[in-house]
Amino acid sequence: MNEIGIAGWLFNRSILRDKTMTQLELPAACKALGVETIELVSSFFPTTNTKYLNELREAIEENGLHLRGIAVDMGDIANADEATRRTDIEGLKQWFHIAKALGSDAIRINSGAADPTDTAAIDRIVAGYRELADEAEHTGVYLLIENHGGASADPKNIQTFLDRVNSPWFKACPDTGNFLDGTWEEGMQIMAPRAHSCHVKVFTYSDDGKQSWTGRDGQTRTYDLKRSLQILKDAGYAGPLCIEAGASDTESNSGRDAIKYVRELVATL
C-alpha cells in the first residue's frame, strides 16, 4: 500500500474541458510527478482504433509506467430495456480487449443508474456483472466495481454484487471520497478486502486526515482519509493509492501535494 499512483481523472479539466492536454501527453505528466502507476479514463480516448492504441501504449511504456486500470464511463447494465442493455454490455466487453492491448490489469465498470432500492435492477446488475466477469476471465483483465453512484451508492449493494457474482475476476475499486455522507467507513470495510485499486480524493491537507468539502448540492461532506487508509492496511491491501483529486491551485500541483500528503499519512499508520 506504499505505492502512490495517479488516476487519470485528476487531469480531467485539462483533457476534457480546457483541451490543453491530450491523453497521449498524460503519461509524461504523471511521470513528472514521480509515480510509476497510472489509470486511464474511457472518456479521454478520442478513438480506440489500433493506431491510437499503439501510440498510447508506447507513451505509457516510454515513461516507464504501469497501467493499473481504465475507468470505463459508458453503458448501463441496470437498464430495464433489454435491447439497450444488451448493446451496452457488448460495448463494455470491448474495453477488456482495449485494456489487454494497452497492458492494463483491469477495467472499472459502473453498476448503472438504478435506484439503490430497486430490487429488479439489482438482479439485472448482478446478471450483467456475471457476464462481464466471464469476459474478464477470458481476457485475463480484472473487472472492478467502484462506489460511483446509482445502485452502488449503497455500500450494502456493493457487498451484494461482489457476493452474488462470486468470481475471482470481479474485484473492488473503492473511492475514498465517493461514499454518501455517513457511509464511508462501512463502504471501506466492505470494499477493502477485495480491492484491486483505490482512488484517493484529497480536499484538505489536514494533519489528522479529516476531509471536508462542499458538494455540488451545496451540502458539506466529510470523511476520514487516515481511517480509510487504516482500513485498507488492516485488510492487507497491497495495491496502489491512485490520487484522483487534490486541494491545490492546479492539477499538477494537486497531484504533487496530494502524493506528499498521502505518503505522510501512510507513514503514521
Task: Read off the CATH number of the domain in which 144 is found.
Answer: 3.20.20.150
Q: What's the structural domain count of the chain?
A: 1
Query: pLDDT value at position 54?
Result: 98
Cα separation, 118 vs 35, in Å, equals 41
Tell me how far apart the alpha carbons of residues 224 and 218 are, in angstroms, rounded to a whole number: 20
Q: Rounded to the nearest 5°, which phi and psi values hold at 42?
A: -60, -35
CB 133 within 8 A of CB 127: no
pLDDT given for residue 121 in this prediction: 97
Q: How many whole angstroms separate alpha carbon 40 and alpha carbon 222? A: 27
Distances (CA, A) of 72 to 59, 87, 135, 146: 20, 15, 15, 11
The region of weakest confidence among 33-42, 120-129, 179-188 is 179-188
Determine the Cα angle at 27 with ends 230 and 261, to 5°: 30
The answer to whether residues 95 and 72 touch, using CB atoms and an 8 Å cutoff, is yes
Q: Sign of the C-alpha dihedral, residues 179, 183, 184, 186? A: negative
Percent of the chain with pLDDT over 90: 95
Its pTM stands at: 0.97
Cell numbers 457488448 correspond to what residue?
90
195 beta partners: 172
Percent pLDDT > 70 in the chain is: 100
DSSP helix/strand/coil, 70: strand
Domain span at 189: 4-267
- Residues whose CB falls within 8 Å of the CB of residue 123, separated by 6 or more in sequence, listed in order: none
Query: Taking Cα atoms as reference points, which of 197, 187, 189, 60 lies closest to residue 142?
Result: 197
pLDDT category at 173 given cuts 50, 70, 90 is: very high
Region label for 91, one of left (φ > 0), alpha (ψ between -120 and 50) or beta (otherwise):
alpha
What pLDDT does residue 214 have? 87
Residue-level pLDDT at 171? 98
Q: Are 41 and 73 in contact (CB under 8 A)?
A: yes
- pLDDT (mean) for 235-262: 98
Interatomic CA distance for residues 143 and 111, integer angstroms: 12
Q: What is the mean pLDDT of residues 90-94?
A: 98
